[in-house]
Structure 1
Amino acid sequence: MPVAARTGVMAGRGLEVTRVGDRWRVTRPWPSQLRPVLHSYAGYWEAAASPYRVRLVPTGRAVVVISLGEPFAGIRRLGEAGPDSRVTGSLVAGLEDGSRVCEHPGGQEAIRLELTPLGAYRLFAVPMGELTNRVVELRDVFGPGSALLVEQLTATADWSARFDLLDTALSARLAQGPRPAPEVSQAWRLLSRAGGAVPVGRIAAEVGWSQGHLVRRFTEQVGLTPKMSARVLRFHRAVGLLTREGLNPTDVTAACGFYDQAHLNREFRALAGTTPGRLATARLAEGALAL
């Protein structure tokens, strides 16, 4: 079916289809039980198959990519001298404190989810520290049954039916997953609402834990320490102000609580391997910079 007809049919069935660069993106409202744990949930396919290379920058979110077409050819942390991680199919990525380069041969069709850290903790049912700065196969987290799910999703051409299948699987895992400690949930809310601009000592006092105990439990269930989470959240807020709001670096420095513009520049180089100016002019989509 031609893309125009295909998108028109899907939109008429309650799905929203948009074009993002060289890809088509399809979404629909998420089930109520999944809304608290998701930042985004969408299907993609390429308008025309072509190789691409992107840099992923830290967002404070975990990611699941269910590959229904060609998988990534190589995934590596920026600056690492070792070989690329070879992920042969669908993948799970924990929280990152640096950037990662991904290469794809073209022909991508996938479903991509961005999860809150504590939503990922519930869904993955593993200590999140085990996934920090790592990309692993979906089966390594979801178990051998994930292969059947991916097969069913791939064999189902209808996006509404695909989402139905995945909603059911995710909801079942979520219901059985571990519950984060209320103190960790409160600490994450305080950090995220402040865009990272709150001292860890104040958070510990708010939740009623010692700072050492907070760091241990928070890192287990979120994947990054509270201090590093604050840096990533502040960086992510700064990226949004630069790219979506169009603020200049001086205004971003003041809005996000950086000491000065030199501090802003250092954080961007440390976390994204680039400068605020270059990132502001780059094409950024869901944490990915086109290279």
Structure 2
Amino acid sequence: MDGEVTVSRAGGLRRAGRPLHPALRPYLCGRTGYSHLAPPYQVRLVPTGHVIMTLSLAEPFSQVRRLGTPGPGTGRIGSAVVGMEDRPAWCVHPGGPQEVIRVEFTPLGAYRLLALPMRELTNQVVDLDDVLGPEAGVLVERLAAARGWAARFDLLDAVLLARLGRGPEPAPEVEHAWRLLAGADGAVPIARLADEVGWSRGYLVRRFTEQVGLTPKTSARVLRFRRAAQLLAGGPVDLARLAAGCGFYDQAHLTREFRALAGLTPGRMATAARPVEEALAL
């Protein structure tokens, strides 16, 4: 156990958290439990630069549908893994009791702990069984039966720590390239990344995409978008200054990228975005 569990409430939403186990901190961005008696809702999901695993201990989602793509979506889905994304989606929930653990991986943390090429998950919502195999159902049952969030976090940490010893090591060159990109919120030219790691640009793109899930160029777009969206969420900002500060060519470029990645203009996203925690699982 690493630290005490804290529980906060916002309306009917209860949020449980605990500091990450030290050995998992390089691989996870967060791990949070939620419980809620939710009315039916739908929420827009946008790229986060993370890989998300959701462990649903109550009602599954009705569907997750990519905006701008044909087809009905995933159909009914419970526990799942959401890969790296470069486009928005709608998530629809039928309402009812929800109890969820949401785990956010760095992309290379997901590569290590989920032990599969990240390109296989890109823009996908995949049933947990298809990622973890038969242990997925056992894990969810044990988490649902555990008494309290501390016991649940202990169990989940133990499972992830065991997988840590079996997973593939990311290439040091890919780790370095991702660290540079993420540290600069995407504002690093791809040619510089290739020079930094000593690979050809084509080889860097192939290895990076396998282990991160997006190409370096697309990852840079998502990271710039994420930074701009975070600043927008903090309150009113001048869009021209926002564009310049986040590495966009100009305000028009900022708007085009928001339309492509979120399906909204920056102005609409600032007023219409629903907090991601309200989606709970996804």
**Aligning the two structures, in what range does the TM-score lie when normalised by the shorter sequence?**
over 0.9
Amino acid in the other structure paired with 2:247: G
**1:251 Cα shift?**
1.8
Distance 1:203 1:81 in 2: 36
1:25 match: 15
The answer to whether the aligner puts 1:111 opposite 2:115 as a matched pair is: no
2:236 aligned with 1:250, yes or no?
no
Query: Aligned partner of 1:243: which letter?
Result: A
Task: Assess if the C-alpha contact under 8 Å between 1:57 and 1:288 holds in 2.
Answer: no
Distance of 2:279 and 2:98 partners within structure 1: 17
Note closer, same or farther for the CA distance 1:286–1:39 as it changes in structure 2 (3 Å cut).
farther
Q: Which residue of 2 aligns with 1:54?
A: 43
1:241 deviation in Å? 1.0
Kindly state the Cα deviation for residue 80 of structure 1 after the two structures are TM-superposed.
Answer: 1.6
What is the aligned-residue identity percentage? 58
User: Does the Cα contact within 8 Å between 2:44 and 2:274 map onto a contact in 1?
Assistant: no
- Kindly indicate whether residue 207 of structure 2 is the aligned counterpart of residue 217 of structure 1: yes
Is 1:92 the counterpart of 2:116? The answer is no
Counterpart of 1:239? 229
| Structure 1 gaps, min length 5 | 1-12
C-alpha distance in structure 2 between counterparts of 1:266 and 1:44, whole Å: 34
Which residue number corresponds to residue 69 of structure 1? Answer: 58
Could you say if the C-alpha distance between residues 137 and 121 of structure 1 is closer, same or farther in structure 2, counting changes exceeding 3 Å? same
Partner in structure 2 of residue 168 of structure 1:
158
> Is residue 228 of structure 1 aligned with residue 247 of structure 2?
no
Q: Read off the aligned partner of 2:260 and give its amino acid letter.
A: A
Offset of 1:18 from its aligned partner?
1.7
What amino acid maps onto 2:263 in structure 1?
Answer: G
Choose 200-209 or 85-94, whichever is displaced more.
85-94
* SS, match of residue 119 in structure 2: helix
Q: Which moved more, 1:77-86 or 1:233-242?
A: 77-86
Deviations 1:130-159 (A, max 9, x none): 000000110111111111110011112311
Deviation for aligned residue 1:79 = 1.5
The equivalences for 1:102-181 within 5 A come to: 102-106=91-95, 107-181=97-171
Moved more, 169-178 or 21-30: 21-30
Q: How far is 1:83 from its partner?
A: 1.4
The alpha-carbon deviation at position 21 of structure 1 amounts to 5.8
* Secondary structure of the corresponding residue to residue 38 of structure 2: coil
Conservation of the 8 A alpha-carbon contact between 1:282 and 1:289: no
AA of the residue aligned to 2:84: L
Instruction: Tell me by how many angstroms 1:255 deviates.
Output: 0.5
TM-score (norm 2): 0.94
1:82 aligns to 2:71 (yes or no): yes
Once structures 1 and 2 are overlaid, which stretch shifts more, 73-82 or 83-92? 83-92
- The offset of 1:288, in angstroms, is 7.1
CA RMSD in angstroms comes to: 1.7
The structural deviation recorded for 1:20 is 4.4
Q: Quick one: structure 1 residues 218 and 194, their matched pair in 2 at CA, closer, same or farther if it must change by over 3 Å? A: same
